[in-house]
Amino acid sequence: MDNLYAAPIFALDVMHTFRDRRSDVMVVSPDVGGVARARELAKRINAPLSIVDKRREKPGEVAEMTVIGDVKGKTCIIVDDICDTAGTLCKAAEVLMDAGATEVHSYITHGVLSGPAVERIKNSVMKTLVITDSIEPTEAVKATPNIRIVPTAPMFAQAILNTWNGTSVSSLFDMETLTPIYEGFYSR
C-alpha cells in the first residue's frame, strides 16, 4: 500500500498562483493538531508558519481563537486535511484578517462541505478555498466562485503507472517529478 498526499499538489498550486508574491505568503495551521501538515507545505514553498490556536468550552463550539505568529501584511494560506461545515475555517480566516493579514486563502484536501459550508465560504472573508476532487464536489460547490478544485487524477494515474512499472511511487512527493505531470493543468 502507498499513501498519496495532497501537499505536493498544493505546493505546485501555491507556487503557480502566488508566483509574483511568494515572499508575502505565510502558511497557517488552523489548529495545533495540524502543525505537521502545515509545516510540510511551508517547507515545500519556503514560507514561514503560523498557527491559529482554538479553545473549546464544549465539543462543537469554538470559544476563542488566537493567532500565534505575526501575520500582519501577509497572504495567509490555511492548510488542513478536511472541511465539513466550514465554521472553524471561516472563523480562522476572520481572526487572521483581524490580526492584519492582507488576504486569506485555504487549501483543504477533502472538501466535504456539508450543510451551511458553501454559503459560509461564499460570504467569508476568505478570498479562495482550494480543494481536491477526492470527494465529488456538489453542483453548489462547483458554482461557487471562490471555491477552486484541483484534480488528483494526474497524481493517481502516475502512481498506478509507477506501480505497474515497478518504479517508485514516493517519487511523486518530489516537486521535480510532479511538476511535468501537472503542466497541462497550469497552462490553461
As annotated, the active-site residues are 54
Q: Are 149 and 132 in contact (CB under 8 A)?
A: yes
DSSP-assigned states of every residue in 34-52: GHHHHHHHHHHHT--EEEE
What gap in Å lies between CA 13 and CA 126, rounded to an integer? Answer: 17
* Look-up of cell digits 497524481: 155
Q: Say if residues 125 and 132 touch (Cβ distance below 8 Å).
A: no
Q: Is 131 helix (H, G, I), strand (E, B) or coil?
A: strand
